[in-house]
Amino acid sequence: MFDGTLATTNLLLGILTTVTVVAAIAFVVALVVVVRLTRHASDLVRDLRQQLSTLSERIDGVGQSMESTMADIQRLTKQAATSAERAQFAFDTVTGVATLALTTGRRSLATRVTRVAGFARAVNGVLRMVAGRSRRRESHQPVDNTKTMEEVTLGTS
């Protein structure tokens, strides 16, 4: 097959040339693919940087909002503590005044309660007495449903 002639040499050179051309074409195709992939990767990196920048700005905004909220919470906590102290002082003052009033007014209050209780007993006795008299009158008199308005108002029969 390979007998050393010019035809064999030309055939071998043709094969080498074809392989070289195919390798060059493959190299060019690979180079084009690498360039496209590099551009695509570059675009992705640029988009990622923009998104990270936007996200960073949002996070900064949230951080500032949280700092403001924490300052408001601290201010409200201080106000609540002050209000609680004032309420406790007012409660202690009212309790002290009430205790003082009860100790000094206990005697006069007991006297007043005794008087009111006596008055209530007296009113109760008078009411029983009046009720007893009206029962006696009702038992001796006939029933008359034709009373005038003056008789009802004056209580006469």
pTM across the whole model: 0.38
Q: How far is CA 146 from the centre of its chain?
A: 72
CA atoms of 91 and 87, how far apart (whole Å)? 6
CA atoms of 68 and 141, how far apart (whole Å)? 90
Cα–Cα separations (whole angstroms), residue 5 to 2, 11, 12, 15, 29: 8, 10, 11, 16, 36
Predicted confidence (pLDDT) per residue in 96-153, tens digit: 777 776 676 666 766 777 777 778 878 877 777 777 665 555 555 554 555 555 555 5
Q: What is the mean pLDDT of residues 64-90?
A: 86
Q: What is the mean pLDDT of residues 16-44?
A: 96
Is 15 or 157 the better-scoring residue by pLDDT? Answer: 15
Of residues 11, 35, 15, 12, the one with CA closest to residue 23: 15
Place of tokens 């006939």: 142
Whether residue 1 is predicted with pLDDT greater than 60 in this model: the reply is: no
Q: What is the mean pLDDT of residues 42-52?
A: 93
The pLDDT of residue 79: 87
CA atoms of 36 and 53, how far apart (whole Å)? 26
The pLDDT of residue 50: 93
Sign of CA dihedral 27, 30, 36, 42: negative
Predicted confidence (pLDDT) per residue in 82-99, tens digit: 888 887 887 778 777 777
Q: What is the mean pLDDT of the chain?
A: 80
Q: What is the mean pLDDT of residues 35-43?
A: 95
For residue 125, the SS3 value is helix
Q: How far is CA 95 from the centre of its chain?
A: 34
